[in-house]
Amino acid sequence: MLGAIKRELFEGIRVAVGDAGYDRDVEPSTVELEDFDDEEKGEFSSAVSFAIAADAGANPMAVAEEIADRHREAGLPDGIASVSVENGHINYHLDVDQMALRTLSTIDAEGAAYGTRDRDDPDRIVADVSSPNIAKPLHVGHLRNTILSDALMNVLEARGHDVTRDNHLGDWGTQFGNLLHEYVEFGDETAFEDDPIAHLLELYQQFEQRDSMLEDVEEFDAVTDAFGEAVAEERAFHVDDGKEWFARLERGDEQAVERWERFREASIERFKRVYAELGVDFDLWLGESFYAREGWNDRVVEKALDEDVAMRGPDDSVFIPIYADEYGEAGDPSTAAVDASLDRARELLDEAGSVADADFDAFYIVKSDGSTVYGTRDLATIEYRVSELGADQSVYVVASEQNRYFQQLFVAARKMGYDDVHLEHIDYGMISLPEGSMSTRGGQIVTVREVLDAARERARDIVAEKGRDVAEEGIDTIARKIALATVKYGMVASNRGKDITFDIDEAVSLEGDTGPYVQYATTRAYSILDAAETVPDVEGVDPAAFNDTDHNLLHHLGRYPLVLGRCEERYDAAPLARYLLELAHVFNSFYHKNRVLDAEDAAAERLVLTDATAQVFENGLGLLGIDTLAEM
């Protein structure tokens, strides 16, 4: 509704600028939505006058007056009461009575759908989300990914898109060969049965630690040649056998596959428990192995060679050359410009003599031993999503350390002719610990389990201390929801791109700008609604009963759909999180300044307003995967 008015204002300004005799393009962004409580700025403002005045060498104030006059003559949009000029800005003032009624009746009519939109031609979006590696525990990095992507996908769905969440498991690659090797050599059946992930993690770490230790010894000048040789031999034994196991896996060797499947199933089973606790769901669990085992890797390699975008190395390796000037907006089909031919690569190769020295990046899709790499799998994934799922967008929620890789992948995809699919890497900052960066290898991680447990414990203490009329058996349920709100809100609200130093005490805090703050505001609204017998009909609302505090709240409620639009544009749910916090501030303030139930002349009006506010909280928090609470 505010969005519609904004568009009308933009059109009106454009016409008014022309009517005033100025020849100048006006951008839609010239119309800004302002806060309600600003008498000077009005609820919408525009600063077009300055640019026009600068062009014409005129006074901005006069230009603004002129445009405002023309606009007024042509007729202001429905819902706008007046236009004024202040400091050269053109300010539009809402017809607050009309807006109050429109906002309340829209929310009342649309209910849970308020803020969402339908599309005639929605995009089919397939997304890599969560994507943990099997045989390792979920850590805070996965937590950030999972929460971020869940919220974002919810928002994209609310904006009318057709979203498929694919938990793109890391379940293929050399590391699983290593793990098979280690398991065969040192595995313990009982320990595996007892806690599969813990045992597999132990084996993984053991392999890595031994390998890096042997590497260090190797680099050191050996005491004797024989000792040096023995070290090299020992290291090669493990590494080669690991590779061999992966090769067996790729060949479909029964023993390898059977063990790998056990690892995979046990891991997924554990993951699912955590996901259930988090309240997130996926549509697909394809994982990297799917593309290897179902022939998609082969298909994509063939295609790359057939279409002459990939070339063979001196051995049997296959790669797609990527030139330095091709990095850019490759994710966007409309701006992609790549040189798919191999002529340049051949020339550069002649000059340099070897692939490694040549002045291009080689994006490998087949290794010299014939096995695939992650790039192969990711191209195969695109092929699958486009041909089988009819994807219009393939998006990747993956940490920013892989930015460069995704640029390469997108360039490679363009070269292969995937021109109708929008590719989007949704990156997010790295998580490190106060003690330094996280490392699964070195055992320095914080698991999702630890975070959830700590959050719940903290929430439980607070509920027991401050919770009102909460029955003993209800404490756990409520504490769990509050704990999730804390963790989820914290993860979504912070700027996606920024690195986070994860301090568990801070992350689990329930004070200030947090999820529970928003929950609390909602609970207060519920409490009022609960005390009232019924919510009066919107039709009976007298807008004249509202004061400025009420109008401020109404204005915020009206903004909600615009916020979702912004989230969609930016592939980021953070604006929604911040909006809800603001709404909670405004509502809490409203709560203190106004009486609702026993208000002398606005009880019915404020009850309707409170009901509408609760609805927006529910809708918004719902998209973030945060539950509201009747009491806390």
Q: Taking CB under 7 A as the criterion, which residues in 170-199 touch RNA?
A: 170, 172-175
Does position 397 bind RNA by CB under 7 A? no
CA-CA distance, 251 to 180, in Å (whole number)?
15
Does position 133 bind RNA by CB under 7 A? yes
Long-range contacts of 73-82 (CB under 8 A, 24+ apart): 73/19, 74/12, 74/15, 74/16, 74/19, 75/12, 76/12, 77/5, 77/8, 77/9, 77/12, 78/5, 78/8, 79/1, 79/5, 80/5, 80/9, 80/44
Question: Which ranges constitute the DSSP H helices of 164-253?
Answer: 174-186, 189-194, 196-219, 225-251
Toward RNA, which CB reaches closer, 164 or 494? 494
Toward RNA, which CB reaches closer, 6 or 89? 89
What is the nearest approach in angstroms of RNA to the Cβ of residue 194?
A: 27
Residues 274-293 that bind RNA (CB under 7 A): 288
Binding mask 360-379 for RNA (x = CB under 7 A): --x-x--xxx---xxx----
Does position 241 bind RNA by CB under 7 A? no
Residues in the chain, total: 632
Does position 578 bind RNA by CB under 7 A? yes
What is the nearest approach in angstroms of RNA to the Cβ of residue 120?
A: 29
Helix (H) or strand (E) holding 629: none
Residues 311-330 that bind RNA (CB under 7 A): 313-315, 317, 327
CA-CA distance, 484 to 453, in Å (whole number)?
10
Toward RNA, which CB reaches closer, 80 or 392? 80
CA-CA distance, 61 to 70, in Å (whole number)?
14
Does position 105 bind RNA by CB under 7 A? no
Cβ-proximal residues to 209 (8 Å cutoff; 6+ apart), any chain = 441, 442
Does position 467 bind RNA by CB under 7 A? yes
Toward RNA, which CB reaches closer, 392 or 568? 568
Which residues face 422 on adjacent strands? 393
Toward RNA, which CB reaches closer, 341 or 368? 368
Does position 218 bind RNA by CB under 7 A? no
Q: What are phi and psi of 318, to 5 degrees?
A: -130, 135
Binding residue (CB under 7 A) for RNA from 59, 82, 87, 387? 87
User: What ranges make up the beta strands (E) of 52-142?
Assistant: 80-86, 89-94, 124-129
Toward RNA, which CB reaches closer, 383 or 392? 383
Distances (CA, A) of 64 to 38, 39, 69, 90: 19, 18, 8, 6
Count Cβ neighbours within 10 Å for each residue of 116-148 and write b for 16 or more, e otherwise: beeeeebbbbbbbbbbbbbbbbbbbbbbbbbbb
Q: What torsion do the CA atoms of 168, 169, 173, 179 make, to the nearest 10 degrees?
A: 180
Residues 4-33 that bind RNA (CB under 7 A): 32
Toward RNA, which CB reaches closer, 176 or 282? 176
Does position 331 bind RNA by CB under 7 A? no
What is the nearest approach in angstroms of RNA to the Cβ of residue 122?
A: 26
Cβ-proximal residues to 195 (8 Å cutoff; 6+ apart), any chain = none
Does position 524 bind RNA by CB under 7 A? yes
What is the nearest approach in angstroms of RNA to the Cβ of residue 45?
A: 3
By rule CB under 7 A, what count of residues binds RNA?
95
Binding mask 527-556 for RNA (x = CB under 7 A): xx--x-------------------------
Place of tokens 């927006």: 616
Toward RNA, which CB reaches closer, 341 or 495? 495
DSSP string, 425-493: EEEE--EEETTEE-BTTTTB--BHHHHHHHHHHHHHHHHHHH-SS--HHHHHHHHHHHHHHHHHHHHHH
Read off the tokens for 517: 């703050």
Residues 33-72 that bind RNA (CB under 7 A): 34, 38, 40-42, 45, 47-48, 50-51, 54, 60
Stretch that binds RNA, among 2-10, 201-209, 417-425, 594-602 (CB under 7 A): 594-602
Toward RNA, which CB reaches closer, 392 or 424? 424
Binding residue (CB under 7 A) for RNA from 405, 453, 454, 474? 405
Toward RNA, which CB reaches closer, 159 or 460? 460
